[in-house]
Chain A
Amino acid sequence: AQSVTQLDSQVPVFEEAPVELRCNYSSSVSVYLFWYVQYPNQGLQLLLKYLSGSTLVKGINGFEAEFNKSQTSFHLRKPSVHISDTAEYFCAVFSYGQNFVFGPGTRLSVLP
Protein backbone atom coordinates (compact mmCIF):
# COMPACT_ATOMS: atom_id res chain seq x y z
CA ALA A 1 0.00 0.00 0.00
CA GLN A 2 1.15 3.49 -0.67
CA SER A 3 1.30 6.31 1.83
CA VAL A 4 2.16 9.99 1.92
CA THR A 5 3.93 11.85 4.70
CA GLN A 6 3.95 15.59 5.18
CA LEU A 7 6.21 16.08 8.15
CA ASP A 8 5.31 19.71 8.78
CA SER A 9 1.74 20.24 9.93
CA GLN A 10 2.24 24.02 10.09
CA VAL A 11 4.76 26.29 8.41
CA PRO A 12 4.86 29.99 9.32
CA VAL A 13 6.92 32.18 7.03
CA PHE A 14 7.30 35.91 6.47
CA GLU A 15 6.07 37.52 3.29
CA GLU A 16 8.59 37.49 0.42
CA ALA A 17 10.63 34.74 2.09
CA PRO A 18 11.17 31.39 0.35
CA VAL A 19 9.29 28.32 1.48
CA GLU A 20 9.58 24.57 1.09
CA LEU A 21 6.80 22.17 2.02
CA ARG A 22 8.00 18.62 2.36
CA CYS A 23 6.33 15.52 0.99
CA ASN A 24 7.59 11.95 1.11
CA TYR A 25 5.80 8.92 -0.18
CA SER A 26 6.12 5.18 -0.06
CA SER A 27 5.05 2.89 -2.85
CA SER A 28 6.25 -0.33 -4.40
CA VAL A 29 5.18 0.70 -7.89
CA SER A 30 5.52 3.71 -10.15
CA VAL A 31 3.58 6.68 -8.92
CA TYR A 32 2.20 9.95 -10.09
CA LEU A 33 2.50 12.86 -7.70
CA PHE A 34 0.37 15.92 -7.08
CA TRP A 35 0.15 19.01 -4.93
CA TYR A 36 -3.20 20.58 -4.13
CA VAL A 37 -4.01 23.83 -2.35
CA GLN A 38 -7.08 24.48 -0.23
CA TYR A 39 -8.10 27.98 0.73
CA PRO A 40 -10.41 28.34 3.76
CA ASN A 41 -13.85 26.81 3.25
CA GLN A 42 -13.11 25.91 -0.34
CA GLY A 43 -12.42 22.75 -2.28
CA LEU A 44 -8.99 21.61 -3.35
CA GLN A 45 -7.32 23.12 -6.37
CA LEU A 46 -4.56 21.43 -8.35
CA LEU A 47 -1.25 23.26 -8.05
CA LEU A 48 0.95 20.97 -10.09
CA LYS A 49 1.53 17.35 -10.99
CA TYR A 50 4.34 15.02 -11.94
CA LEU A 51 3.43 12.30 -14.41
CA SER A 52 6.71 11.69 -16.26
CA GLY A 53 9.59 13.52 -17.89
CA SER A 54 11.41 16.39 -16.24
CA THR A 55 11.63 15.95 -12.50
CA LEU A 56 11.19 19.70 -11.93
CA VAL A 57 7.58 20.61 -12.33
CA LYS A 58 6.24 24.14 -12.43
CA GLY A 59 2.70 24.92 -11.33
CA ILE A 60 0.37 27.83 -10.82
CA ASN A 61 1.00 30.81 -8.55
CA GLY A 62 4.79 30.52 -8.88
CA PHE A 63 5.08 27.15 -7.16
CA GLU A 64 7.33 24.35 -8.31
CA ALA A 65 8.16 20.87 -7.07
CA GLU A 66 10.93 18.41 -7.70
CA PHE A 67 10.46 14.67 -7.93
CA ASN A 68 13.32 12.76 -6.35
CA LYS A 69 12.86 9.06 -6.91
CA SER A 70 15.82 7.94 -4.82
CA GLN A 71 14.57 9.89 -1.82
CA THR A 72 10.91 9.22 -2.63
CA SER A 73 10.20 12.91 -2.19
CA PHE A 74 8.19 15.57 -3.96
CA HIS A 75 8.86 18.79 -2.08
CA LEU A 76 6.98 21.97 -2.99
CA ARG A 77 8.84 25.27 -3.19
CA LYS A 78 8.24 28.93 -3.86
CA PRO A 79 11.06 31.48 -3.90
CA SER A 80 9.00 34.35 -2.53
CA VAL A 81 5.63 33.89 -0.84
CA HIS A 82 2.74 36.30 -0.66
CA ILE A 83 0.07 36.77 1.96
CA SER A 84 -2.41 35.22 -0.47
CA ASP A 85 -0.46 31.95 -0.37
CA THR A 86 -1.79 31.32 3.13
CA ALA A 87 -3.68 28.05 2.76
CA GLU A 88 -3.45 24.33 3.39
CA TYR A 89 -1.37 22.28 1.00
CA PHE A 90 -1.87 18.59 0.31
CA CYS A 91 0.52 16.21 -1.36
CA ALA A 92 -1.05 13.21 -3.08
CA VAL A 93 0.14 10.05 -4.79
CA PHE A 94 -1.60 7.88 -7.34
CA SER A 95 -0.69 4.61 -8.96
CA TYR A 96 -2.58 2.18 -11.15
CA GLY A 97 -5.00 0.04 -9.23
CA GLN A 98 -5.07 2.42 -6.29
CA ASN A 99 -7.10 5.42 -5.35
CA PHE A 100 -5.43 8.73 -4.69
CA VAL A 101 -3.76 8.85 -1.31
CA PHE A 102 -3.48 12.28 0.28
CA GLY A 103 -1.04 13.41 2.90
CA PRO A 104 -2.34 14.98 6.12
CA GLY A 105 -1.72 18.49 4.83
CA THR A 106 0.58 21.38 5.72
CA ARG A 107 -0.87 24.68 6.82
CA LEU A 108 1.18 27.52 5.37
CA SER A 109 0.80 30.83 7.18
CA VAL A 110 2.40 33.84 5.52
CA LEU A 111 3.08 36.62 7.98
CA PRO A 112 3.34 40.32 7.08
Chain B
Amino acid sequence: SQTIHQWPATLVQPVGSPLSLECTVEGTSNPNLYWYRQAAGRGLQLLFYSVGIGQISSEVPQNLSASRPQDRQFILSSKKLLLSDSGFYLCAWSGTLRSYTFGSGTRLTVV
Protein backbone atom coordinates (compact mmCIF):
# COMPACT_ATOMS: atom_id res chain seq x y z
CA SER B 1 0.00 0.00 0.00
CA GLN B 2 1.03 3.57 -0.51
CA THR B 3 2.31 5.67 2.35
CA ILE B 4 3.61 9.18 2.66
CA HIS B 5 6.18 10.32 5.17
CA GLN B 6 6.79 13.88 6.17
CA TRP B 7 9.29 15.20 8.68
CA PRO B 8 9.99 16.76 11.02
CA ALA B 9 6.66 17.01 12.82
CA THR B 10 7.54 20.27 14.52
CA LEU B 11 10.27 22.80 13.93
CA VAL B 12 11.23 26.07 15.58
CA GLN B 13 13.66 28.14 13.58
CA PRO B 14 15.05 31.67 13.99
CA VAL B 15 14.39 34.34 11.40
CA GLY B 16 17.02 34.26 8.68
CA SER B 17 17.89 30.59 9.10
CA PRO B 18 17.55 28.03 6.28
CA LEU B 19 14.77 25.49 6.01
CA SER B 20 14.48 22.01 4.60
CA LEU B 21 11.32 19.93 4.91
CA GLU B 22 11.25 16.51 3.34
CA CYS B 23 8.43 14.36 2.03
CA THR B 24 8.71 10.86 0.61
CA VAL B 25 6.14 8.53 -0.85
CA GLU B 26 6.28 4.75 -0.83
CA GLY B 27 4.40 2.16 -2.80
CA THR B 28 3.78 4.10 -5.97
CA SER B 29 5.72 5.50 -8.89
CA ASN B 30 5.55 8.82 -10.69
CA PRO B 31 3.13 10.41 -8.24
CA ASN B 32 2.05 14.02 -8.47
CA LEU B 33 3.41 15.75 -5.38
CA TYR B 34 2.22 18.87 -3.62
CA TRP B 35 3.22 21.25 -0.85
CA TYR B 36 0.48 23.14 0.96
CA ARG B 37 0.66 25.69 3.73
CA GLN B 38 -2.04 26.21 6.29
CA ALA B 39 -1.70 29.43 8.26
CA ALA B 40 -3.43 29.71 11.63
CA GLY B 41 -7.21 29.81 11.19
CA ARG B 42 -6.97 29.76 7.43
CA GLY B 43 -7.51 27.27 4.67
CA LEU B 44 -5.03 25.40 2.55
CA GLN B 45 -2.79 27.31 0.18
CA LEU B 46 -1.10 25.38 -2.61
CA LEU B 47 2.56 26.37 -2.72
CA PHE B 48 4.17 23.99 -5.22
CA TYR B 49 3.31 20.94 -7.23
CA SER B 50 5.37 18.53 -9.26
CA VAL B 51 4.38 16.06 -11.96
CA GLY B 52 7.84 14.53 -12.32
CA ILE B 53 11.50 14.64 -11.36
CA GLY B 54 12.87 18.15 -11.67
CA GLN B 55 9.47 19.55 -12.66
CA ILE B 56 8.25 22.15 -10.19
CA SER B 57 5.36 24.56 -10.56
CA SER B 58 4.93 27.43 -8.16
CA GLU B 59 1.49 28.71 -7.38
CA VAL B 60 2.42 31.83 -5.45
CA PRO B 61 5.52 34.00 -5.27
CA GLN B 62 7.23 33.63 -1.95
CA ASN B 63 10.34 33.07 0.06
CA LEU B 64 10.22 29.31 -0.44
CA SER B 65 11.38 26.91 -3.13
CA ALA B 66 10.78 23.25 -3.86
CA SER B 67 12.79 20.50 -5.48
CA ARG B 68 12.16 16.95 -6.58
CA PRO B 69 15.51 15.19 -6.79
CA GLN B 70 13.96 11.71 -6.96
CA ASP B 71 10.66 10.33 -8.19
CA ARG B 72 9.19 9.94 -4.73
CA GLN B 73 10.95 12.72 -2.86
CA PHE B 74 9.77 16.29 -2.56
CA ILE B 75 11.67 18.93 -0.61
CA LEU B 76 10.54 22.35 0.54
CA SER B 77 13.34 24.83 1.22
CA SER B 78 14.17 28.35 2.13
CA LYS B 79 17.52 30.13 2.28
CA LYS B 80 16.33 32.67 4.87
CA LEU B 81 13.14 32.22 6.83
CA LEU B 82 10.76 35.07 7.51
CA LEU B 83 8.31 35.36 10.39
CA SER B 84 5.50 35.08 7.85
CA ASP B 85 6.72 31.61 6.88
CA SER B 86 5.29 30.21 10.10
CA GLY B 87 2.48 27.77 9.56
CA PHE B 88 1.50 24.17 9.13
CA TYR B 89 3.02 22.60 6.03
CA LEU B 90 1.43 19.62 4.39
CA CYS B 91 2.80 17.36 1.70
CA ALA B 92 0.40 15.38 -0.46
CA TRP B 93 0.52 13.00 -3.37
CA SER B 94 -1.96 11.85 -5.97
CA GLY B 95 -1.57 8.98 -8.40
CA THR B 96 -4.91 9.39 -10.08
CA LEU B 97 -7.62 11.97 -9.93
CA ARG B 98 -9.38 10.02 -7.26
CA SER B 99 -7.97 11.72 -4.20
CA TYR B 100 -5.03 13.28 -2.50
CA THR B 101 -3.24 11.54 0.34
CA PHE B 102 -1.71 13.89 2.85
CA GLY B 103 1.29 13.57 5.11
CA SER B 104 0.99 14.23 8.81
CA GLY B 105 2.25 17.79 8.49
CA THR B 106 5.06 19.93 9.88
CA ARG B 107 4.34 22.72 12.33
CA LEU B 108 6.92 25.45 11.58
CA THR B 109 7.35 28.33 13.98
CA VAL B 110 9.75 31.07 12.97
CA VAL B 111 10.91 33.12 15.93
Q: CB within 8 Å of B: which residues of A? A: 32, 34, 36, 41-46, 49, 51, 90, 92, 94, 96, 99-100, 102-105
Contacts and interface: CB of A to CB of B under 8 A. Distances in A.
Interface in B32-89: 34, 42-44, 46, 49, 59, 88
Given A32-B97, A45-B102, A100-B34, 16 more contacts: A32-B98, A36-B102, A41-B88, A41-B105, A41-B107, A43-B104, A43-B105, A44-B90, A44-B102, A46-B99, A46-B100, A90-B43, A99-B34, A99-B49, A100-B94, A100-B100
Contacts, number: 49
A34 B97 contact: no
Interface residues of B, number: 22
A102 B99 contact: no
Contacts of A90: 43-44
